[in-house]
Amino acid sequence: MKRNLTIAFLTALFTFGIWSSAMSKTRSGVITMEVDLSARAQGQTVRLWIPYPVSDENQLISDIQTSGDYSTIGVYTDRYYGTPILYAGWSKDAKKRKLMFSFKVERQEVRNRDFPAKEPAWNPADYAKYLKPTSLGPTDGAVKKLSDSITKGKNTVLQKAKAIYDWTCENTYRDPKTVGCGLGDVDKLLEKPGGKCTDISSVFISLARAAGVPAREVFGLRLGKKPQQDVTTWQHCWAEFFLPGYGWVSVDPADVRKKMLIEKLDLKDAKTNAYRDYFWGGIDPYRFVIAHGRDVVLNPPQEGPPLNTFGYPYAEVGGLPLDFYDPATFVYRITYHEK
């Protein structure tokens, strides 16, 4: 009987597509980014900002290397969120503008579980920046009204966050036609709740903040599952909320909806329920964190407006921003090598 139960359990893990996260708790490799802005017209200064990942309790960044023909380079942080930034610049006389940035990343799976049964006293003022609205993430009007209806009768941060997570999983959908990771324009998303990871995560965050639950976006890059892969377009965004007496809890309703789309699942499928359970506090090891924040003022400051998100490299030529979604004007490549 015990052997049969073990076989059934392992079969279920495989069937639900979470075998890799259950059996392989870490993922490591070398990320290399190559940027070439040489095709831009000469006679103008070129400036480049790249998210600069750092080590934390769930990831180790090491063997960091940079090379290129830049005239200046340095590592900075933005003043509001403290996101690290690799900055490089080229003079207007530069004939070539190339940069290579590489590092090794070791990433650990996150499984936030065993939440406290009772919520301790906490001071929302300590998390004020994670309760404020952003330019595309309001906390009043239709967002507040919806948040209040979702969390009616819920008294704790955990209860409210779970209700909002469930609502987001059930009422958004992944739209593969969305450019990049999406803009995260929550007012528009409440009218048409289809998008990609930044869109779906932003819905969760705005609703959470409107309910008094501190929440934030996490911007990252996915790691390859093959020995070598081009991951240039593998940016990903998920969410975290602050649980008093525990800390920051990861949630990823966007990946629930992505799994549902790819595997053609509906909300009643057992596999959907497995994904919802996993991504409520669970994050697979095939991703790592590169940045936080919305409406970001870079350091050194950019000439253009605050960045809606900083999940992609950002560059300006003669003070004008390049479209980081357009490889014809902003040429860069990111590769993963298993180590």
In this structure, which amino acid lies at residue 159?
Q
CATH topology assigned to domain 26-108+298-338: Immunoglobulin-like (2.60.40)
d(CA 134, CA 136): 5
Are 223 and 229 in contact, with CB atoms under 8 Å apart? no
Domain ranges of the chain: 26-108+298-338, 110-284
Query: What per-residue confidence (pLDDT) applies to 15?
Result: 38
Residue range 6-59, pLDDT digits in tens: 434 333 443 344 434 344 489 999 999 999 999 887 899 999 999 999 999 999
d(CA 169, CA 276): 8
Q: Going by CATH, does the domain composed of 110-284 fall within 3.30.565.10?
A: no
Q: What is the mean pLDDT of residues 137-157?
A: 98
Query: What per-residue confidence (pLDDT) applies to 42?
Result: 84
Query: What per-residue confidence (pLDDT) applies to 40?
Result: 83
Cα-Cα-Cα-Cα dihedral sign, residues 288, 293, 295, 299: negative
Report if pTM > 0.85: yes
Q: Break the chain down into helix, strand, coil percent, rounded to 5.
A: 25, 35, 40
Share of the chain above pLDDT 90, in %: 89
Label residue 120 by pLDDT band (50, 70, 90): very high
Residue range 212-266, pLDDT digits in tens: 999 999 999 999 999 999 999 999 999 999 999 999 999 999 999 999 999 999 9
Query: What per-residue confidence (pLDDT) applies to 199?
Result: 98
Query: What per-residue confidence (pLDDT) applies to 12?
Result: 43
